[in-house]
Structure 1
């Protein structure tokens, strides 16, 4: 199956959500939540993630995660991932209870496309504040795509993970998972990056982004993905944006959708004039205003 067909298929029958002047969405991707060990690339940024989620929850944003939320290629146990990140899952549970949470699956958490997997592993989580199990995502579906639209025939934003543009990580995902779990994970501990990852191989990254941008242009829509971990801000006339990731050494990124304005933002650690540290939100590039 071609890249064009894989992306189109991911968005066929996609969940449709309203895009109005009152809409407030925060799009994040590629958290790769792990088990809290040395290979857990999310762990170092979790405090930034928590600060961002608290900000967006208080601001009445709806959180949409564009896949690879949990690292299920390197790790077999989602239970251990939940145990390592109880506060993050508790906050996500708050969004879900408020009716403001939607999630896509990516290649690293593709198991979530199976309702039986979700039913078994994502019904509850431990809450450190209450010292007990609380409901997590009971009955929540995970999607291959979501479309934000202002009305039939009007502006629409297509959301999917983006691995569909990468043959090795889509069609051959089981082979890729095997290589990551048993070869690249131990080598990562020695400082050797995975050359098959679009997030770490610049040639693969560029090719994936070109394919995604071409698809968006041909289908005359705005496409937003994750997967490559490369944040891309919108410019007038552009057709492709990328949320970035939550595992960068320098912070986490996401795209805010406020009405018809799209803003790429970064959450990072900044130094005040008195030399104290603070978590701060920073706008990257110019906001994109949809016509």
Structure 2
């Protein structure tokens, strides 16, 4: 019941964005961008991610970052992350300028639930070349959840990170934050796994996914989450549970695309071509399936 109430609160507080069959959205989750040190799990995939977001920008997508974009548990200052991944943030700036960037906070950047922290973090950034603060993404809003409202049906796709109701990553997030910054940040470099993370524990991951499914059963709601890092695509005859996965698997990132009234699970991966040259390719893992097929039973 606790998880249900937390998800209900997130649903009620979500930003509502209308969409139709001409709309294009990509949902990406759990980048965990760091400072390009050994603990930065995103760094090996930065070029894959950069190619993917450039593709989405050039092809008219709106980008929804579904939580844990920046690893603010490990790093006390966003500037360290900004310096390490300026190429990525330059593309984010372009999305923001076109009003096509939507940010949801997760447990690893839960500080962004506070508007004053968002303003301080994103309005300006330090330019290391000029040693001046420059305009970055002024006016950016960060949300707990987003509801994409399908205009043809008047029904929603609920997008939320998914840590709601996960005790160590929600109620006790400040304690987990402390442990990550001063303990697990160093231990996971040498192979230890954080027991509080559903991405590192199969038992915890399955327990959280059961809670998602109970929410969907009770609300008859299409739901897209992250948090567990496990990509998931459901068929119309199943519970409408989707997971965008993460950007920290070795040499591959996954995403959910909503295009032309359909939904798909895709991956971006480094593959060798016929000449043995490495290149980044996009591949559809599942779908596309018409979004309407998941909404016929919604009340």
Q: TM tier, shorter chain?
A: over 0.9
Q: Measure how far apart 1:98 and its partner are.
A: 0.7
Instruction: Give the 3-state SS of the residue equivalent to 2:235 in structure 1.
Output: coil
Greater displacement, 28-37 / 135-144: 135-144
1:257 paired residue number: 258
Q: Measure how far apart 1:181 and its partner are.
A: 1.6
Residues 66-215 of structure 1 correspond to what in structure 2 (within 5 A)?
A: 66-125=66-125, 134-151=134-151, 154-215=154-215
Instruction: Give the 3-state SS of the residue equivalent to 1:229 in structure 2.
Output: coil
Question: For the Cα contact (< 8 Å) 1:25–1:61, is it kept in 2?
Answer: yes
Task: Measure, in 2, the Cα distance between the counterparts of 1:225 and 1:6.
Answer: 14
Question: For the Cα contact (< 8 Å) 1:89–1:125, is it kept in 2?
Answer: no
Instruction: Give the 3-state SS of the residue equivalent to 1:189 in structure 2.
Output: helix
Q: Measure how far apart 1:30 and its partner are.
A: 0.6
Q: Measure how far apart 1:69 and its partner are.
A: 0.5
1:42 paired residue number: 42
Task: Measure, in 1, the Cα distance between the counterparts of 2:53 and 2:135.
Answer: 18
Please report the TM-score for the alignment, with normalisation by the length of structure 2.
Answer: 0.92
Question: For the Cα contact (< 8 Å) 2:24–2:257, is it kept in 1?
Answer: yes
2:244 paired residue number: 243
1:62 paired residue number: 62
Any stretches of 5+ residues in structure 1 without a counterpart? none
Task: Measure, in 2, the Cα distance between the counterparts of 1:201 and 1:241.
Answer: 19
Instruction: Give the 3-state SS of the residue equivalent to 2:193 in structure 1.
Output: coil
Instruction: Give the 3-state SS of the residue equivalent to 2:72 in structure 1.
Output: coil
Task: Measure, in 1, the Cα distance between the counterparts of 2:194 and 2:277.
Answer: 36
Q: Measure how far apart 1:126 and its partner are.
A: 6.0
The 1:234/1:288 distance shift into structure 2, 3 A limit, reads farther
Task: Measure, in 2, the Cα distance between the counterparts of 1:271 and 1:280.
Answer: 10
Q: Measure how far apart 1:234 and its partner are.
A: 2.6
1:271 paired residue number: 272
The 1:131/1:57 distance shift into structure 2, 3 A limit, reads farther
Any stretches of 5+ residues in structure 2 without a counterpart? 293-299
Please report the TM-score for the alignment, with normalisation by the length of structure 1.
Answer: 0.95
Aligned-residue RMSD, C-alpha:
1.9
Q: Measure how far apart 1:13 and its partner are.
A: 2.7
Task: Measure, in 1, the Cα distance between the counterparts of 2:121 and 2:63.
Answer: 21
Q: Measure how far apart 1:149 and its partner are.
A: 0.8
Task: Measure, in 1, the Cα distance between the counterparts of 2:118 and 2:144.
Answer: 15
Q: Measure how far apart 1:285 and its partner are.
A: 2.2
Question: For the Cα contact (< 8 Å) 2:79–2:126, is it kept in 1?
Answer: no
